Structure 1
Amino acid sequence: MSTKETPAANGFPYTLSRTLDVPAASVWQAWSTAEQYAQWANAVAGSVEMDVRPGGSWKATMVAPDGGKFPLTGSYLEVAENRRLVIGMDVPGKAEPTVMAMELDEQDDHHTQIVLSQMCDTAEERDMAKLGSTMLLDGLSAFLAEQAGD
């Protein structure tokens, strides 16, 4: 018996979800406003730029848990305010951007389920992307809880 993972048809996917105790509009604003995004996503202050529209670009310099800084760039592939954001991330050495989808499902006026999903080329890439997305969700959850408490 092999312990090697078998990729899905197009690679190695992951999906993460979390229910947040805020309306979808609050989640959307935190994810699509440069000032707010920088506060919760471990980005270097002043490094985040966002043109949130289909074809618009974004960039940010992120801070890793070990303190290392790395620049990210990409574009917005799909934008449906308060519902869905599909982001392309430029990866050195890859011809096509890596695509991550963020979907919001407002369950009532005070609860929103957020789902992040991504297809990766390898299990290792998936595991690293999943870890990064988990860190994003942790930061977003803490930020929104703090905002709701104000």
Structure 2
Amino acid sequence: MTIGENEIISSREVDVPRELVFRAWTTPNLLAQWWGPHGFTNTFHECDVKPGGEWLFTMHGPNGADYPNHNVFVEIVPIERVVIEHLSGHGFRVTGTFEDLGGRTKVTFRQLFKTAEDFERAKPICVEANEQVMDRLGKLLVEMAT
């Protein structure tokens, strides 16, 4: 975990090829399984995985609260990168990059906030939440690989 200027960066190395990582980021039913911190579930209303495509979903918290989310896919580079603009609540951009390590993959999750104010408000929650997201992604990738 690294904290940059208005940015939280998490990365992990996983024992799966980057094609699987890319699939987990771009297949709606897989994305729904790992997106969000521990205990959260998702209901996808629209997930058009292409540049300019909308991703509308509701995150359901373990406390019963619902969190509507509106996102747009900005960039999709097969097996290398996915960029998502989060338009609801705190404004931020998520960039997922997938670096080939000879059959393994380094996954980097960058969350760049539009303003320092949004960053400071979200940081206490997002630092740990992003690590949990990476945990959930890693667990799904192990299941996908077996």
Matched residue, 2:102 = 108
Pick from 18, 21, 36: which aligns with 2:15?
A: 21
What's the TM-score once normalised by structure 1's chain length?
A: 0.79
Contact 1:43 1:60 in 2 (8 A): no
Which whole-Å CA distance do the structure 1 matches of 2:110 and 2:28 have between them?
A: 21
Mean CA deviation greater in 30-39 or 47-56: 47-56
Which whole-Å CA distance do the structure 2 matches of 1:49 and 1:129 have between them?
A: 24
Contact 2:11 2:107 in 1 (8 A): yes
Mean CA deviation greater in 53-62 or 127-136: 127-136
- Bigger radius of gyration: 1
Which whole-Å CA distance do the structure 2 matches of 1:58 and 1:108 have between them?
A: 32
Mean CA deviation greater in 81-90 or 116-125: 116-125
TM-superposed CA distance for 1:43, in Å, is: 3.2
Query: Which 5+ residue runs of structure 1 have no aligned equivalent?
Result: 1-6
SS of corresponding position for 2:122: helix
Query: Which residues in structure 2 correspond to 1:17-96 (within 5 Å)?
Result: 17-41=11-35, 42-45=40-43, 47=44, 49-92=46-89
What's the TM-score once normalised by structure 2's chain length?
A: 0.81
RMSD of aligned residue pairs (Cα, Å): 2.0
Query: Which 5+ residue runs of structure 2 have no aligned equivalent?
Result: none
TM-superposed CA distance for 1:127, in Å, is: 3.1
Which whole-Å CA distance do the structure 2 matches of 1:38 and 1:115 have between them?
A: 19
Contact 2:20 2:144 in 1 (8 A): no
Which whole-Å CA distance do the structure 2 matches of 1:148 and 1:102 have between them?
A: 20
